[in-house]
Amino acid sequence: MQALHPLKEYEPVIGSQVIEELHLLAEKTKGWTIQNINSTSVGGGVAEILNRMIPLLQELGVNARWDVIKGGEKFYRVTKKFHNALHGKEEEIGQEDFDVFLETGEMNKKMMELSNGEVCFIHDPQPITLVDQRESSAKKWIWRCHIDVSNPNPRVWNFLKKYIDRYNAAVFSAPSFSQPLSIRQFLIAPSIDPLSDKNKELSSDFIQSVLQKYQLDPEKPMVTQVSRFDYLKDPLGVIEAFEKVYRYIDCQLVLAGGEATDDPESTEVLAKTRERAAQNPDIHILAIPSGSDLEINALQRASAVVVQKSLKEGFGLTVTEALWKGKPVVASGVGGITLQITHKYSGLLCHSVDGAAHAIKQLLQNSDYAKKLGENGREHVRQNFLLTRHLKDYLLLFLSLFHEGDIIRF
The DSSP letter of residue 233 is G
The residues facing 224 across adjacent strands are 254, 306
Please determine, for residue 398, whether its predicted confidence score (pLDDT) is greater than 70: yes
> Which of the four pLDDT bands, split at 50, 70 and 90, describes residue 9?
very high
- Whole-angstrom distance, CA of residue 166 vs CA of residue 86: 19
Q: Look up the pTM and report it.
A: 0.89
- Whole-angstrom distance, CA of residue 310 vs CA of residue 340: 14
> Which of the four pLDDT bands, split at 50, 70 and 90, describes residue 214?
very high
Q: Which residues contact 241 (CB under 8 A, 6 or more apart)?
A: 307, 309, 353, 354, 356, 357, 360
The residues facing 140 across adjacent strands are 119
Q: Which residues contact 214 (CB under 8 A, 6 or more apart)?
A: 254, 284, 286, 299
Q: What average pLDDT score do residues 341-354 get?
A: 97
Burial class, 378, CB count within 10 angstroms (exposed 0-12 / middle 13-18 / buried 19+): middle
Q: Which residues contact 352 (CB under 8 A, 6 or more apart)?
A: none
Residue 171: in which H helix or E strand, if any? Answer: strand 169-172
> Which of the four pLDDT bands, split at 50, 70 and 90, describes residue 95?
very high
- 11-27 pLDDT tens trace: 999 999 999 999 999 99
- What pLDDT sits at residue 409? 45
Report yes or no: 239 and 276 within 8 Å, Cβ to Cβ. yes
Please determine, for residue 289, whether its predicted confidence score (pLDDT) is greater than 90: no
Chain-centroid distance of CA 391 in Å reads: 15
Chain-centroid distance of CA 175 in Å reads: 16
Report yes or no: 302 and 222 within 8 Å, Cβ to Cβ. yes
The DSSP letter of residue 282 is T
Question: What mean pLDDT, rounded, does the chain reach?
Answer: 93
Please determine, for residue 352, whether its predicted confidence score (pLDDT) is greater than 90: yes
Report yes or no: 197 and 181 within 8 Å, Cβ to Cβ. no
Q: What domains sit in the chain, N to C, each tagged with a CATH number?
A: 7-191+387-402 (3.40.50.2000), 204-384 (3.40.50.2000)
